[in-house]
Amino acid sequence: MSTLEKTELEKETSTTTQLSGSQAVLEALLQEGVDTIFGYPGGAIMPIYDALYDYSEKLTHILVRHEQGGIHAAQGYARTSGNVGVAFATSGPGATNLVTGLADAMIDSTPLVCVTGQVFAALLGTDAFQETDVINITTPVTKWNYQVTDANEIPEVMAKAFYIAKTGRPGPVLVDITKNAQLQLFDFLGYKKCDHIRSYRPKPVIRKEYITQAAEVINQAKKPFVLFGQGVILGKAEAEFKAFIEKGGFPAAWTVMGLSALETDHPLNVGMLGMHGNYAPNVMTNECDVLIAIGMRFDDRVTGRLDKYAKQAKIVHLDIDPAEIDKNVKTTVPVWGDCKETLPLLTELLQEKDHNAWVTEFRELEKEEIKEVIQDELNPTTDIMTMGEVLKTLNELTGGDAIIVTDVGQHQMVSCRYAKFNSSRSNVTSGGLGTMGFGLPAAIGAWYGAPHRDVVAIIGDGGIQMTIQELGTIMQFGAKVKIMILNNEFLGMVRQWQQLFHQRRYSFVDITSPDFVAVAKGYYIDGNKISERKDLKPALKTMLDHDGAYLLEVMVGKENNVFPMVAQGTSVSEIRLK
């Protein structure tokens, strides 16, 4: 070797940084712009937590009270911030406690990177203490997962994890790192973000001929109807979507996950689709001549009976995931691609129209729903408070500017039906999986994702008891979440089905609850309980004005039902008003 070559080698060697695998994980997070981690330490992930001690000024770690709470918080953070949520857990039960959240994030397309500790590589397969095969357990509920056994892999694997989680149709990624890899020192040559994986195409190629065909079908429509889902939000295409519907004069209805992509008071917003959606959009699905689906997946709760779903209409389906095209509903024209890119191309070819007479048909059906359902729900004449009037009063006080996080059940459907929103990323809920217990931890994460906004968690008396321990997380770290429990003393949605379809055989739905205000005070969180209408508005105002977390329990009617309702096995046009 020449003297020059030796000098260059010495220079190269002298600039090489030695890091542990644990440090490399944290450096990756910093390079990816991560500022908040939700996690819980344990034996197999201890080296990463030891390294985190030195990163406390650069990375905020929120110690949750259960790993499921951690991953739901990461989901809430991702949903309000638009960034990748990050969760840490140890091996064994720590990792398996993430599974529900992974499944929830997978079906709701939420970008997450979860890092789990694992036993030493030499112990894999020996049934070591707290060893579980987390890779095979989580394969069905992750977009990608990978087990690291050598620290040299960490920079590249972490870069791939973030790239896969946030590109294309987002989703959860899990990186499982053995303890030896966390401890191992290696030559860290820097971190390079991933922008390409040979076997992974995040976005399909846009086919201009399909754009042209879709425009021709839409321009010929007399009764066009737009259905929009979370794809509009995930694609950051809210402005492009609004331009599309306004140029075409299209009535537009949203899925639960699409709620807030378009402001609720927009003149072309005709309401919510699905089982407990609004009357007009469900009925008109089977009256329109062209159905334009944007960033939604024709879930069974939206379609009802598929063999009776929009059979009279031509279907134009815009989606980034080719697997969703023709999966449930046969498409006339598929438009593959990111709607941020495809919508402007389609809008350019649209004829400018208003379709006022068609929109008026929706409004006439809306009047029927107001008369039969909404009037009594929002303005009850009995002494019993309804969930709807609580939402109505909340809207008056927030002006539609708050983030609403819901758990799962009747309160969720009522909140989605009646909450007002002025801006996107304001509705956070568990859509596809329907995870009770989601609400409280997701609200914590939502607040960290948007600390400048009011975050109101609306939760039932059943769901709150599944993750109530996360009040401890609020107590320790100070998330200013407003927690509103709508207490009907039942597992309300199950009870409603038992009433309507099982002859009122109320089997194990009568739930006894603790004194929630006292529980909150045990965590040094202020609260109040009300059961009379005269106290509702003052109590809500106190909750919203309070500087810090606050719990308000509102007693509502025990056997109130959520209507309209499309019963399982029926067509959307058979929607019941009562």
576: which strand partners? 565
The catalytically annotated residue of 27, 32, 67, 470 is 67
Active site (annotated) includes residue 225: no
Active site (annotated) includes residue 493: yes
Alpha-carbon distance of 524 to 469, in angstroms, equals 13
Cβ atoms < 10 Å from Cβ of 335: 26
Alpha-carbon distance of 336 to 203, in angstroms, equals 8
Tokens of 440: 């409280």
Compute CA distances 471 → 71, 141, 206, 475, 556, whole Å. Answer: 15, 27, 47, 6, 23
DSSP, res 167 = S
Alpha-carbon distance of 228 to 318, in angstroms, equals 10
Decide: 406 and 415 in contact? Cβ < 8 Å: yes
Tokens of 461: 């008396």
- Written as one string, the DSSP assignment of 159-170 is HHHHHHHHSSS-
Helix (H/G/I), strand (E/B), else coil: 529: strand
Cβ atoms < 10 Å from Cβ of 72: 34
The catalytically annotated residue of 31, 130, 213, 476 is 130
Helix (H/G/I), strand (E/B), else coil: 561: coil
The catalytically annotated residue of 6, 129, 371, 568 is 129
Helix axes 536-545, 387-398, angle to 10 degrees: 50
The catalytically annotated residue of 143, 179, 340, 420 is 179
Active site (annotated) includes residue 46: no
Q: What is the CA radius of gyration of the chain?
A: 25
Amino acid type, 19? L
Tokens of 27: 């450096």
Compute CA distances 371 → 168, 275, 279, 366, 405, whole Å. Answer: 43, 19, 12, 9, 28
The rounded Cα 161 to chain-centroid distance in angstroms is: 19
Tell me if the bond preceding 172 is cis, omega within 30° of 0.
no
Instruction: Give residue 207's region: left, alpha or beta (phi > 0; psi -120 to 50).
Output: beta
If we measure between CA atoms, which residue out of 207, 155, 204, 146 comes closest to residue 177? Answer: 146
DSSP, res 91 = S
Active site (annotated) includes residue 130: yes
Q: Which residue has the tokens 């509502």?
A: 556
φ/ψ of 66, rounded to 5, equals -165, 145
Alpha-carbon distance of 42 to 47, in angstroms, equals 10
The catalytically annotated residue of 385, 466, 484, 493 is 493
Active site (annotated) includes residue 129: yes
Active site residues: 67, 129-130, 179, 493
